[in-house]
Amino acid sequence: MSTASVSDSRDADLLGRDGPRLVPRLLPAPSRDIPALVPAPAFLGNGVRSRRAVPTLADMGVRVSVVIPTLNEEENLPYVFARLPPGLHELIVVDGHSTDRTVAVALQLRPDARIVMQTGRGKGNALAAGFAACTGDIVVMLDADGSTDAAEIPRFVAALCNGADFVKGSRFAQGGASSDITRIRKLGNRVLSAMVNSLYGTSYTDLCYGYNAFWTRCLPYMHVDCDGFEVETLINVRIAKAGLVVHEVPSYERNRIYGASNLSALRDGGRVLRTIASERVSAASRRLWRSRLRLPRLMP
Ligand SMILES: Nc1nc2c(ncn2[C@@H]2O[C@H](COP(=O)(O)OP(=O)(O)OP(=O)(O)O)[C@@H](O)[C@H]2O)c(=O)[nH]1
Ligand SMILES: [Mg+2]
Protein backbone atom coordinates (compact mmCIF):
# COMPACT_ATOMS: atom_id res chain seq x y z
CA MET A 1 0.00 0.00 0.00
CA SER A 2 1.12 3.55 -0.38
CA THR A 3 0.79 6.30 2.15
CA ALA A 4 1.44 9.92 1.40
CA SER A 5 1.02 13.13 3.32
CA VAL A 6 -0.82 15.84 1.43
CA SER A 7 0.19 18.56 3.83
CA ASP A 8 2.73 20.08 1.47
CA SER A 9 2.24 22.09 -1.69
CA ARG A 10 0.60 19.13 -3.42
CA ASP A 11 -2.29 19.75 -1.02
CA ALA A 12 -3.12 22.94 -2.88
CA ASP A 13 -3.44 21.03 -6.12
CA LEU A 14 -5.52 18.35 -4.44
CA LEU A 15 -7.85 21.00 -3.15
CA GLY A 16 -8.38 22.65 -6.53
CA ARG A 17 -7.92 26.18 -7.77
CA ASP A 18 -11.21 27.70 -8.76
CA GLY A 19 -13.88 26.48 -6.39
CA PRO A 20 -15.67 28.99 -4.17
CA ARG A 21 -14.34 29.41 -0.65
CA LEU A 22 -16.07 27.34 2.02
CA VAL A 23 -17.86 29.80 4.28
CA PRO A 24 -17.91 28.49 7.85
CA ARG A 25 -21.20 29.00 9.63
CA LEU A 26 -21.32 31.20 12.68
CA LEU A 27 -21.03 29.42 15.98
CA PRO A 28 -23.64 29.85 18.73
CA ALA A 29 -22.50 32.35 21.36
CA PRO A 30 -20.42 30.46 23.94
CA SER A 31 -22.00 30.37 27.38
CA ARG A 32 -18.66 29.62 29.06
CA ASP A 33 -15.04 29.95 28.10
CA ILE A 34 -14.47 27.59 25.23
CA PRO A 35 -11.53 27.34 22.86
CA ALA A 36 -12.05 29.42 19.74
CA LEU A 37 -12.88 27.43 16.64
CA VAL A 38 -11.33 28.91 13.55
CA PRO A 39 -12.10 28.20 9.89
CA ALA A 40 -10.18 25.23 8.55
CA PRO A 41 -7.51 26.61 6.21
CA ALA A 42 -6.04 24.87 3.21
CA PHE A 43 -2.49 24.15 4.30
CA LEU A 44 0.59 24.49 2.16
CA GLY A 45 2.84 23.12 4.87
CA ASN A 46 4.67 24.91 7.69
CA GLY A 47 1.32 26.31 8.73
CA VAL A 48 1.15 28.56 5.63
CA ARG A 49 -2.39 28.97 4.33
CA SER A 50 -3.24 28.52 0.70
CA ARG A 51 -4.84 31.45 -1.10
CA ARG A 52 -6.56 28.95 -3.37
CA ALA A 53 -10.17 28.30 -2.50
CA VAL A 54 -11.30 24.96 -1.07
CA PRO A 55 -14.02 23.44 -3.25
CA THR A 56 -17.39 22.73 -1.64
CA LEU A 57 -18.86 19.24 -1.42
CA ALA A 58 -21.33 20.19 -4.15
CA ASP A 59 -18.39 21.01 -6.46
CA MET A 60 -16.97 17.56 -5.83
CA GLY A 61 -20.25 15.83 -6.79
CA VAL A 62 -20.12 12.98 -4.29
CA ARG A 63 -22.61 11.85 -1.67
CA VAL A 64 -20.97 12.26 1.73
CA SER A 65 -22.30 10.43 4.81
CA VAL A 66 -21.06 11.73 8.16
CA VAL A 67 -21.06 9.30 11.10
CA ILE A 68 -20.81 10.76 14.60
CA PRO A 69 -20.80 8.51 17.70
CA THR A 70 -22.30 10.20 20.76
CA LEU A 71 -22.30 9.40 24.45
CA ASN A 72 -23.68 12.25 26.55
CA GLU A 73 -22.63 15.07 24.24
CA GLU A 74 -25.72 17.33 24.40
CA GLU A 75 -23.68 20.42 25.25
CA ASN A 76 -21.13 19.86 22.50
CA LEU A 77 -23.46 19.12 19.60
CA PRO A 78 -24.33 22.79 18.87
CA TYR A 79 -20.63 23.51 18.29
CA VAL A 80 -19.97 20.34 16.33
CA PHE A 81 -22.99 20.63 14.05
CA ALA A 82 -22.40 24.32 13.40
CA ARG A 83 -19.15 23.38 11.66
CA LEU A 84 -20.69 20.82 9.29
CA PRO A 85 -20.28 21.95 5.69
CA PRO A 86 -23.37 22.34 3.52
CA GLY A 87 -24.22 19.72 0.91
CA LEU A 88 -23.93 16.55 3.01
CA HIS A 89 -25.82 13.52 1.77
CA GLU A 90 -26.67 12.42 5.32
CA LEU A 91 -25.75 12.91 8.95
CA ILE A 92 -25.85 9.76 11.07
CA VAL A 93 -25.68 10.11 14.85
CA VAL A 94 -24.99 6.82 16.60
CA ASP A 95 -25.98 7.14 20.19
CA GLY A 96 -24.77 4.89 23.00
CA HIS A 97 -27.98 5.32 25.03
CA SER A 98 -26.93 8.69 26.41
CA THR A 99 -28.51 9.63 29.72
CA ASP A 100 -28.63 13.31 28.79
CA ARG A 101 -30.60 15.00 25.96
CA THR A 102 -28.09 14.15 23.22
CA VAL A 103 -30.67 12.63 20.86
CA ALA A 104 -33.24 15.39 21.41
CA VAL A 105 -30.62 18.09 20.89
CA ALA A 106 -29.31 16.39 17.74
CA LEU A 107 -32.81 16.30 16.22
CA GLN A 108 -33.56 19.84 17.34
CA LEU A 109 -30.40 21.12 15.63
CA ARG A 110 -30.63 18.86 12.59
CA PRO A 111 -34.13 17.46 12.02
CA ASP A 112 -32.68 15.69 8.98
CA ALA A 113 -30.18 13.68 11.10
CA ARG A 114 -30.66 9.94 11.22
CA ILE A 115 -30.42 8.58 14.74
CA VAL A 116 -29.08 5.05 15.14
CA MET A 117 -29.15 3.54 18.63
CA GLN A 118 -26.23 1.20 19.05
CA THR A 119 -27.03 -2.32 20.18
CA GLY A 120 -23.74 -3.13 21.93
CA ARG A 121 -21.25 -1.07 23.88
CA GLY A 122 -18.32 1.16 23.05
CA LYS A 123 -17.19 3.46 20.23
CA GLY A 124 -16.22 0.56 17.94
CA ASN A 125 -19.68 -0.95 18.15
CA ALA A 126 -21.21 2.50 17.56
CA LEU A 127 -19.13 3.12 14.42
CA ALA A 128 -19.96 -0.33 13.05
CA ALA A 129 -23.68 0.44 13.45
CA GLY A 130 -23.24 3.86 11.83
CA PHE A 131 -21.26 2.49 8.87
CA ALA A 132 -23.93 -0.16 8.27
CA ALA A 133 -26.54 2.60 8.00
CA CYS A 134 -24.62 4.72 5.44
CA THR A 135 -26.04 5.15 1.94
CA GLY A 136 -23.50 7.63 0.52
CA ASP A 137 -20.40 7.17 -1.66
CA ILE A 138 -18.07 8.45 1.06
CA VAL A 139 -18.12 7.98 4.83
CA VAL A 140 -16.56 10.52 7.19
CA MET A 141 -16.16 9.60 10.86
CA LEU A 142 -15.58 12.24 13.49
CA ASP A 143 -16.20 12.86 17.20
CA ALA A 144 -19.00 14.71 18.97
CA ASP A 145 -16.98 16.33 21.74
CA GLY A 146 -15.85 19.36 19.72
CA SER A 147 -12.26 18.16 19.33
CA THR A 148 -12.52 17.36 15.62
CA ASP A 149 -13.55 20.19 13.30
CA ALA A 150 -16.22 19.25 10.77
CA ALA A 151 -15.15 22.22 8.63
CA GLU A 152 -12.15 20.08 7.61
CA ILE A 153 -14.43 17.56 5.85
CA PRO A 154 -13.92 19.00 2.32
CA ARG A 155 -10.17 18.46 2.72
CA PHE A 156 -10.73 14.75 3.38
CA VAL A 157 -13.22 14.42 0.53
CA ALA A 158 -10.89 16.20 -1.91
CA ALA A 159 -8.12 13.71 -1.11
CA LEU A 160 -10.52 10.81 -1.73
CA CYS A 161 -11.61 12.35 -5.04
CA ASN A 162 -7.96 12.61 -6.02
CA GLY A 163 -7.19 8.94 -5.76
CA ALA A 164 -7.12 7.80 -2.16
CA ASP A 165 -9.21 4.87 -0.96
CA PHE A 166 -8.88 5.91 2.65
CA VAL A 167 -7.92 9.30 4.12
CA LYS A 168 -6.53 9.48 7.63
CA GLY A 169 -6.62 12.68 9.59
CA SER A 170 -3.31 13.27 11.32
CA ARG A 171 -2.42 15.58 14.18
CA PHE A 172 1.25 14.95 13.53
CA ALA A 173 1.49 15.40 9.76
CA GLN A 174 2.90 18.77 8.77
CA GLY A 175 0.17 21.37 9.31
CA GLY A 176 -1.70 19.31 11.92
CA ALA A 177 -1.64 19.76 15.70
CA SER A 178 -3.45 18.98 18.93
CA SER A 179 -4.18 21.05 21.99
CA ASP A 180 -5.93 18.03 23.53
CA ILE A 181 -3.44 15.17 23.57
CA THR A 182 -1.47 14.54 26.76
CA ARG A 183 2.24 13.68 26.79
CA ILE A 184 1.64 10.10 27.78
CA ARG A 185 -0.97 9.56 25.06
CA LYS A 186 1.30 11.20 22.49
CA LEU A 187 4.13 8.87 23.45
CA GLY A 188 1.85 5.82 23.41
CA ASN A 189 0.43 6.81 20.02
CA ARG A 190 3.94 7.25 18.61
CA VAL A 191 5.10 3.85 19.85
CA LEU A 192 1.95 2.10 18.59
CA SER A 193 2.17 3.87 15.21
CA ALA A 194 5.83 2.79 14.86
CA MET A 195 4.84 -0.77 15.69
CA VAL A 196 2.14 -0.88 12.99
CA ASN A 197 4.43 0.85 10.48
CA SER A 198 7.16 -1.71 10.98
CA LEU A 199 4.73 -4.65 10.80
CA TYR A 200 2.83 -3.47 7.72
CA GLY A 201 5.25 -1.15 5.90
CA THR A 202 2.91 1.80 6.39
CA SER A 203 3.87 5.42 7.13
CA TYR A 204 1.12 6.35 9.55
CA THR A 205 1.94 9.38 11.63
CA ASP A 206 -1.15 9.12 13.86
CA LEU A 207 -2.55 5.64 14.43
CA CYS A 208 -5.16 6.41 17.07
CA TYR A 209 -6.95 9.48 15.66
CA GLY A 210 -10.72 9.28 15.20
CA TYR A 211 -11.10 11.60 12.18
CA ASN A 212 -11.00 9.59 8.95
CA ALA A 213 -12.85 9.27 5.64
CA PHE A 214 -13.14 6.53 3.04
CA TRP A 215 -15.13 5.33 0.06
CA THR A 216 -18.06 3.15 1.13
CA ARG A 217 -16.59 0.35 -1.00
CA CYS A 218 -13.80 -0.02 1.61
CA LEU A 219 -16.22 -1.19 4.31
CA PRO A 220 -15.90 -4.93 3.57
CA TYR A 221 -12.11 -4.69 3.99
CA MET A 222 -12.49 -2.96 7.36
CA HIS A 223 -15.22 -5.24 8.67
CA VAL A 224 -15.38 -3.43 12.03
CA ASP A 225 -16.06 -6.06 14.69
CA CYS A 226 -14.53 -4.58 17.85
CA ASP A 227 -16.17 -2.67 20.68
CA GLY A 228 -13.96 0.05 22.05
CA PHE A 229 -11.38 2.74 21.30
CA GLU A 230 -9.17 0.22 19.50
CA VAL A 231 -11.47 0.73 16.51
CA GLU A 232 -9.22 3.22 14.68
CA THR A 233 -6.27 0.85 15.01
CA LEU A 234 -8.31 -2.09 13.76
CA ILE A 235 -9.43 -0.08 10.72
CA ASN A 236 -5.92 1.20 9.96
CA VAL A 237 -4.38 -2.26 10.20
CA ARG A 238 -7.05 -3.88 8.04
CA ILE A 239 -6.85 -1.28 5.28
CA ALA A 240 -3.07 -1.73 5.28
CA LYS A 241 -3.48 -5.50 4.99
CA ALA A 242 -5.92 -4.99 2.12
CA GLY A 243 -3.36 -2.87 0.26
CA LEU A 244 -5.65 0.15 -0.07
CA VAL A 245 -4.27 3.56 -1.02
CA VAL A 246 -4.04 5.75 2.08
CA HIS A 247 -3.44 9.50 2.18
CA GLU A 248 -2.95 11.50 5.34
CA VAL A 249 -4.31 15.01 5.70
CA PRO A 250 -3.32 17.36 8.52
CA SER A 251 -5.96 17.93 11.17
CA TYR A 252 -6.20 20.15 14.20
CA GLU A 253 -7.56 18.54 17.37
CA ARG A 254 -9.00 20.83 20.03
CA ASN A 255 -9.83 20.12 23.66
CA ARG A 256 -13.16 18.49 24.34
CA ILE A 257 -15.50 21.45 24.97
CA TYR A 258 -17.79 20.07 27.68
CA GLY A 259 -17.98 16.80 29.59
CA ALA A 260 -15.44 14.11 30.39
CA SER A 261 -13.41 11.84 28.17
CA ASN A 262 -14.49 8.20 27.96
CA LEU A 263 -10.93 7.07 27.18
CA SER A 264 -8.41 5.63 29.62
CA ALA A 265 -4.82 5.73 28.35
CA LEU A 266 -3.79 2.52 30.10
CA ARG A 267 -6.90 0.41 29.50
CA ASP A 268 -7.42 1.54 25.91
CA GLY A 269 -3.69 1.50 25.10
CA GLY A 270 -3.76 -2.16 26.18
CA ARG A 271 -6.73 -2.84 23.90
CA VAL A 272 -4.89 -1.21 20.97
CA LEU A 273 -1.82 -3.35 21.66
CA ARG A 274 -3.93 -6.53 21.81
CA THR A 275 -5.60 -5.56 18.52
CA ILE A 276 -2.24 -5.11 16.77
CA ALA A 277 -1.08 -8.46 18.12
CA SER A 278 -4.25 -10.39 17.31
CA GLU A 279 -4.45 -8.96 13.78
CA ARG A 280 -0.85 -10.06 13.24
CA VAL A 281 -1.36 -13.49 14.75
CA SER A 282 -4.54 -14.13 12.77
CA ALA A 283 -2.73 -13.14 9.56
CA ALA A 284 0.21 -15.39 10.46
CA SER A 285 -2.01 -18.36 11.29
CA ARG A 286 -3.92 -17.91 8.02
CA ARG A 287 -0.59 -17.93 6.15
CA LEU A 288 0.51 -21.01 8.08
CA TRP A 289 -2.67 -22.89 7.22
CA ARG A 290 -2.39 -21.87 3.58
CA SER A 291 1.20 -23.13 3.43
CA ARG A 292 0.19 -26.37 5.21
CA LEU A 293 -2.54 -26.95 2.69
CA ARG A 294 0.02 -26.65 -0.09
CA LEU A 295 2.35 -29.21 1.55
CA PRO A 296 2.34 -32.72 0.12
CA ARG A 297 0.59 -35.23 2.37
CA LEU A 298 3.00 -37.30 4.42
CA MET A 299 0.40 -39.82 5.55
CA PRO A 300 -1.40 -42.10 3.07
N1 LIG B 1 -22.21 5.81 20.69
C2 LIG B 1 -21.12 5.83 21.46
N3 LIG B 1 -20.25 6.84 21.37
C4 LIG B 1 -19.15 6.83 22.17
C5 LIG B 1 -18.90 5.81 23.09
N6 LIG B 1 -17.73 6.09 23.74
C7 LIG B 1 -17.29 7.26 23.23
N8 LIG B 1 -18.14 7.70 22.29
C9 LIG B 1 -18.04 8.91 21.46
O10 LIG B 1 -16.82 8.78 20.74
C11 LIG B 1 -16.21 10.05 20.60
C12 LIG B 1 -14.80 9.99 21.20
O13 LIG B 1 -14.91 9.75 22.59
P14 LIG B 1 -14.05 10.56 23.68
O15 LIG B 1 -14.57 10.21 25.02
O16 LIG B 1 -14.03 11.99 23.32
O17 LIG B 1 -12.64 9.89 23.54
P18 LIG B 1 -11.36 10.40 22.78
O19 LIG B 1 -11.70 11.53 21.86
O20 LIG B 1 -10.74 9.21 22.17
O21 LIG B 1 -10.47 10.87 23.97
P22 LIG B 1 -10.19 12.36 24.46
O23 LIG B 1 -9.04 12.83 23.63
O24 LIG B 1 -9.85 12.21 25.90
O25 LIG B 1 -11.44 13.17 24.23
C26 LIG B 1 -17.14 11.04 21.29
O27 LIG B 1 -17.97 11.60 20.32
C28 LIG B 1 -17.93 10.18 22.27
O29 LIG B 1 -19.19 10.73 22.56
C30 LIG B 1 -19.84 4.73 23.17
O31 LIG B 1 -19.72 3.79 23.95
N32 LIG B 1 -20.92 4.81 22.33
MG1 LIG C 1 -12.47 13.28 22.52
> Which atom of ligand 1 is nearest the CA belonging to 95?
1
Higher pLDDT, 284 or 249: 249
- Mutate which of 121, 145, 264 for ligand 1? The one with the most ligand atoms within 8 Å of its CB, which is 145
- Over residues 11-31, the mean pLDDT reads 34
Write the CB contacts of 79 (distance below 8 Å, at least 6 apart in sequence): 27, 28, 34, 37, 146, 257
pLDDT tens, residue by residue, 196-247:
999 999 999 999 999 999 999 999 999 999 999 999 999 999 999 999 999 9
Task: Please count the CA atoms within 13 angstroms of the CA of 166 that sit on its side-chain side.
Answer: 28
Q: Predicted confidence band at 23 (pLDDT cuts at 50, 70, 90)? A: very low
Distance from Cα 212 to the centre of ligand 1, integer Å: 15
User: What is the overall mean pLDDT for the chain?
Assistant: 84
Q: For the whole model, what pTM was predicted?
A: 0.81
* Domain segments of the chain as ranges: 8-293
Range scoring the smallest mean pLDDT among 10-14, 17-21, 157-161, 187-191: 17-21
Write the CB contacts of 24 (distance below 8 Å, at least 6 apart in sequence): 39, 40, 83, 151
Q: Identify residues whose C-beta is under 5 A from ligand 2, the ion.
A: 145, 147, 256
Give strand ranges (E) for the chain: 3-5, 64-70, 90-95, 114-117, 138-141, 166-170, 177-178, 212-215, 246-250, 252-253
Higher pLDDT, 39 or 193: 193
Write the CB contacts of 136 (distance below 8 Å, at least 6 apart in sequence): 62, 63, 64, 65, 89, 90, 216
Distance from Cα 28 to the centre of ligand 2, integer Å: 20
Domain 8-293 falls in which CATH fold? Spore Coat Polysaccharide Biosynthesis Protein SpsA; Chain A (3.90.550)
- Over residues 93-109, the mean pLDDT reads 98
